[in-house]
Structure 1
Amino acid sequence: MKQLFISIFFLMNFVCCFAQEINDKEIDSLYKEDQFYAGVTYNLLGKMPKDVSQSGFSLGFHLGFIKDMPINKNRNIAIGLGLGYSANSFNQNLLINKDNTGSTIYSVLKDSNTFTKNKFSSHLIELPIEFRWRTSTATDYNFWRIYMGFKLGYVFAHTTKYRGDLGKLRFSNIEDFNNFQYGITLSAGYNTWNIFLYYALNPIFSGDASLDGNKIDMNAVKIGLMFYIL
């Protein structure tokens, strides 16, 4: 929880520094909104197999640029198309290990006293697409917004880390991770504070990943705050 508050503090300072520049700009009848974003999320796992559970605090950090393209005369309805970066971690009790042949094996750590760390992390390049509605004008920078969209992500790096009775285990770029992640998004709020939701439509792992003979269908769910900058 302390990490979350620290992250929000730095994001707020980042937003405020850019917001100060807005007041010095001339009025633009062809204005555009919210072309930079930065956010922090609490990451959840959906569709978890039996006995798999999350532990600790799983964080996500997101930032990027979205090209704002108004589609009506009042410029309060727009399409957004962007490019961003996302870093995510998931703390849980699903152990990812290798056997003697180098194959990936999955098991559940049922006793939390046997390990101090068990997580997997991913880094993504993302392409967000949004349908945007807001109450902004050329001179009003404090407004309500609802942005609904779709986000496609390419996982260019991921790692798994374990520390416990088995020693220290670390693996990178395991083939069972899906290289592409995609899901639906929603941002809604007023002025600086906006609630952000992401629900993945495909699983984190590919069809080759299985636990006790059953496919691992876990998907990512992210809930947090998103900050927009002109």
Structure 2
Amino acid sequence: MRLLFSCLFLVSFFNSFAQEVKPEIKPIVKIDSLYREDQFYFSVTYNLLLNGPTGLKQNKFSAGVSAGFLRDMPINKDRTIAIAAGFGLSYQNFYQNFTVSKSADGTNVYNVSSYSDIGSNRYKQYSVDVPIEFRWRNSTYESYKFWRIYSGVKMSYIFSDKSILKDGDASYKVSNNKDINQFQYGVYVSAGYNTWNVYCYYGLNGLFDKSVKTVSGENVQMSAMNIGLIFYIL
């Protein structure tokens, strides 16, 4: 009987010891080394009008916002260089003294007015955007925080626009102006670290058709420039 108890004790001791020294099996975490920086983006900008007719001035804060998605396509082994294409929507707002009114026969009249002669004047537009960009970043598959420089071209289609003028005696609203260049294109660059990045867009074609002139006969060749911040969200 004493021998039986001794055997049971030894079996129990070795079983407990074996359980204590049993190595822990950790789950295998797979890291995707073939990552892509597909991203949603959101930008907030201050809008400028360049190459405007004589006397053009802007007042208040002309703001713009845009949002969309970019598909990333790496072209080198380290995946630090890529091409991206996307789709987005933009809203642009301009406060300035370039006025659009109506003549007696209903045609558009363009002029640069003094702020003392107008109560308020603004132009706003909504567009569909297609950006195509060349990308450099020092990213790795282990980190989502990195430095970047993205540059490219953006093509836009203005699907809605409106000019609103209040000159004290009358008010004018011109929607979907036939003299607006609905197809816009320009170049842009964004640079920064992680989520926060500076952004600049420069329009390469005029906002209005080349045939548009002010009442003084000056050609209207205004183009847009947007400066601000762009945020990238994975």
For normalisation by structure 1, the TM-score amounts to 0.86
Distance in 1 separating the partners of 2:82 and 2:200: 19
Report matched runs for 1:1-230 at 5 Å.
27-110=31-114, 112-211=115-214, 212-230=216-234
Please, which runs of 5 or more residues in structure 2 have no aligned partner? Answer: 1-28
Runs of 4+ with deviation above 6 angstroms: none
Distance in 1 separating the partners of 2:226 and 2:147: 22
- In the TM superposition, residue 214 of structure 1 has moved relative to its aligned partner by 2.0
- In the TM superposition, residue 207 of structure 1 has moved relative to its aligned partner by 1.4
Distance in 2 separating the partners of 1:155 and 1:119: 16
Deviations 1:14-46 (A, max 9, x none): xxxxxxxxxxx9632111115210010000011
Distance in 2 separating the partners of 1:196 and 1:94: 26
Please provide the CA RMSD for this pair. Answer: 1.3
- In the TM superposition, residue 115 of structure 1 has moved relative to its aligned partner by 2.8
Distance in 1 separating the partners of 2:30 and 2:189: 31
How many equivalent residue pairs?
Answer: 205
Distance in 1 separating the partners of 2:70 and 2:30: 22
Greater Cα radius of gyration, structure 1 or 2: 2
8 Å CA contact 1:178–1:206 kept in 2: the answer is: yes
For normalisation by structure 2, the TM-score amounts to 0.84
8 Å CA contact 1:34–1:228 kept in 2: the answer is: no
Distance in 2 separating the partners of 1:101 and 1:208: 19
Deviations 1:45-82 (A, max 9, x none): 11011111111110110100111000011111000011
Distance in 2 separating the partners of 1:26 and 1:47: 54
Deviates more, 1:164-173 or 1:185-194: 164-173
Distance in 2 separating the partners of 1:70 and 1:27: 17
Distance in 2 separating the partners of 1:101 and 1:30: 63
Partner amino acid, structure 2, of 1:182: Y
Partner amino acid, structure 2, of 1:47: N
Secondary structure of the residue aligned to 2:116 is helix
- In the TM superposition, residue 168 of structure 1 has moved relative to its aligned partner by 2.3
**Cα gap change, 1:159/1:72 in structure 2, threshold over 3 Å: closer, same or farther?**
same
Distance in 2 separating the partners of 1:93 and 1:214: 15
Distance in 2 separating the partners of 1:119 and 1:139: 47
8 Å CA contact 2:101–2:165 kept in 1: the answer is: no
- In the TM superposition, residue 166 of structure 1 has moved relative to its aligned partner by 3.0
**Cα gap change, 1:70/1:170 in structure 2, threshold over 3 Å: closer, same or farther?**
same
- In the TM superposition, residue 108 of structure 1 has moved relative to its aligned partner by 1.6
**Cα gap change, 1:119/1:26 in structure 2, threshold over 3 Å: closer, same or farther?**
farther
8 Å CA contact 2:67–2:89 kept in 1: the answer is: yes
Deviations 1:54-113 (A, max 9, x none): 111101101001110000111110000111101001110011011111111111221x23
Partner amino acid, structure 2, of 1:48: G
Distance in 1 separating the partners of 2:88 and 2:158: 12
